[in-house]
Amino acid sequence: MRHLVWFRADLRVADNPALYEAAVAGARVSAIYIDSPGQWQQHGRSAMQRDFLSRNLQALAEQLAALGMPLTLLSAETFDEVPGVLSAWLQQHPQDALYANRELGIDERRRDKAVQQALADKMAIRVFNGDCVFQHGSLTTRSGDMYKVFTPFAKTWLAQLRATGYRLLPPPAAQGEPVTANAVELGGERVASDHWPAGEVAAAERLAAFCQQDLRDYGAQRDYPATEGTSSLSPYLALGVLSPNQCLAAMEQELDGLPMSRGEAGFVWLNELIWREFYRHLLVAYPRLSMSRAFKPDTDALQWSQDREGFVAWCTGKTGYPIVDAAMRCLNETGWMHNRLRMIVASFLTKDLHIDWRMGEAYFMSRLIDGELAANNGGWQWAAGTGADAAPYFRVFNPTTQGERFDANGDFIRRWVPELTQVPEKLIHGPHDWLDNHEMGHGYPKPIVDHKRARLHAIAMFDALKDPEVT
């Protein structure tokens, strides 16, 4: 018996249901990854993430080779070509069954349907849940619908965890002697990023270090971007180098049990993992989220601005709001941004500049090393007020007071906005008068928008949805 495992966003050998099930049956296992560079571009994903993908693929090939399982890299320009490329390869390398873990986006689901149709009468196809603790569609309201609000979803998720626990799978046993790993690195831009070592061993080390050092304090530390109070595991989770079950297991080991309710040490982190699951379950239940449509259909009628100048100022970190500018420059340089900052800059783009959240979502995707549709779309729609359980439309972050609260002495700002390094601590969030007086602006821009007025305009935009006569 020959089983083929098709790796996608699950680049790990441990806790990988498709790989585990393919191997446990005693079959001879080999593996493929199908690179789709054109699709990557169509999805607007970043060079930084592609580089990270490439390095993780190589690490995976080596892990698999040590188990005696060769990984072959195939290429199909776009998803449309995948069934043909796969069929042609299978003619040369016949298999009895194809194993894969489900992907959630609509394009991925359409690709998988086409593969299913092309191969169904030739071989068995088995698909698994590898990216969430509980399978999409398995947690529903009494009437069988997906939850639209986070809190009841989280309650049901926790009840399920209490009832069934989670299933953590070991890596498969080696099938004979190790083989030589194929070279599977992708072509493309090399982007140096020592901060993100590749492979599941590196991911496991980072997870263990986070649990030992920061998990207990996460609730108190997680909102301050100048400190490393969060796990920085998102790039690994986004490509499936790490699974959420592995996060639960590490947390359980560290705390001698899982925190199951608010107030228990570590619960705040668990809650973030549940947000991750919430957005993933939503993406499957509401295909329109994969199609740039608002979760709340009525908000599709919002009159967003197309202000190109404002958008460029936001992208390049030149809005004149120090915390926004520091955050955007950090993103541009590192491919990563702290969650508090993602909320601040997303609110600024949509509620201060009134620019379409889809433009921000796409820009994030083009820059992030952890870009993934469910969380990115969820985060943007939350900030814009168009999403499931979104921030109420009248709640508009004030970028100055957000800076004062979460980067009080301006350490984060000074790290990323060199024009402001000399500004005294108490003026760092409103430095313009001081810069004028000291002729030390070095070109740091004046605020491109008046927050108070912009806030009122944002509220009026949403009010107009209720009564189109009011604009």
- List, by residue number, the catalytic residues: 272, 275, 304, 339, 357, 380
Over the window 314 to 353, marking each residue x when it contacts ligand FAD by CB under 6 A and - when it does not, the resulting string is ------------------------xx--xx--x-------
- Which range, of 59-67, 301-309, 322-330, 362-370, touches ligand FAD by CB under 6 A? 362-370
Q: Using the minimum distance from each CB to ligand FAD, give the nearer residue, 60 or 365.
A: 365
Residue type, 232: S
154 binds ligand FAD per the rule CB under 6 A: no
Residue type, 142: R
Q: Using the minimum distance from each CB to ligand FAD, give the nearer residue, 81 or 272.
A: 272
Instruction: Compute the half-sphere exposure of residue 153: CA atoms within 13 Å on the CB side of its CA.
Output: 24
DSSP string, 69-138: --EEEEE-SSGGGHHHHHHHHHHHS--SEEEEE---SHHHHHHHHHHHHHHTTTSEEEEE--SSSS-TTS
Q: Using the minimum distance from each CB to ligand FAD, give the nearer residue, 230 or 245.
A: 230
Q: Which of 232, 332, 334, 366 binds ligand FAD (CB under 6 A)?
A: 232
Q: Please, which of residues 10-39 interact with ligand FAD by CB under 6 A?
A: none
Query: By C-alpha distance, which of 203, 162, 270 is closest to 13?
Result: 203
Over the window 185 to 224, marking each residue x when it contacts ligand FAD by CB under 6 A and - when it does not, the resulting string is -------------------------------------x--
Q: What are phi and psi of 32, to 5 degrees?
A: -130, 160
Query: In degrees, to the nearest 5, what angle opens at C-alpha 370 toward C-alphas 270 and 258?
Result: 15
Cα dist from 34 to 108, 361, 386, whole Å: 12, 26, 35
Distance, in Å, from the CA atom of 204 to the CA atom of 207, rounded to the nearest integer, reads 5
Q: Which of 368, 396, 417, 454 binds ligand FAD (CB under 6 A)?
A: 368
Cβ contacts of 78 within 8 Å, gap of 6 or more: 36, 38, 39, 42
275 binds ligand FAD per the rule CB under 6 A: yes
Q: Using the minimum distance from each CB to ligand FAD, give the nearer residue, 98 or 359.
A: 359
Residue 237 Cβ, how far from ligand FAD at the closest point, in Å? 4
Q: Are 335 and 49 contacting, i.e. CB atoms less than 8 angstroms apart?
A: yes
108 binds ligand FAD per the rule CB under 6 A: no
User: Both tokens of residue 357?
Assistant: 């959240």
370 binds ligand FAD per the rule CB under 6 A: yes
Could you identify the residue written with the tokens 């990854």? 33
Distance, in Å, from the CA atom of 462 to the CA atom of 471, rounded to the nearest integer, reads 9
Q: Which of 272, 307, 404, 411 binds ligand FAD (CB under 6 A)?
A: 272
Query: By C-alpha distance, which of 82, 69, 3, 71 is closest to 35?
Result: 82
Contacts with ligand FAD: how many residues (CB under 6 A)? 29
Q: Please, which of residues 42-101 interact with ligand FAD by CB under 6 A?
A: none
Q: Which of 276, 281, 329, 354 binds ligand FAD (CB under 6 A)?
A: 276
In this structure, is the dihedral angle defined by the CA atoms of residues 150, 155, 158 and 160, taken in order, positive or negative? negative
Q: Which of 371, 387, 410, 431 binds ligand FAD (CB under 6 A)?
A: 371
Q: Which of 150, 348, 364, 412 binds ligand FAD (CB under 6 A)?
A: 364
* Residue 355 DSSP SS3: strand
18, burial (CB in 10 Å: exposed 0-12, middle 13-18, buried 19+): buried
Q: Which of 379, 387, 399, 403 binds ligand FAD (CB under 6 A)?
A: 379
Residue of this chain nearest to ligand FAD (CB atom): 379
Q: Using the minimum distance from each CB to ligand FAD, give the nearer residue, 222 or 351.
A: 222
238 binds ligand FAD per the rule CB under 6 A: yes
- State the residues that interact with ligand FAD by CB under 6 A: 222, 230-234, 237-238, 272-273, 275-276, 279, 338-339, 342-343, 346, 364, 368, 370-372, 375-376, 378-380, 383
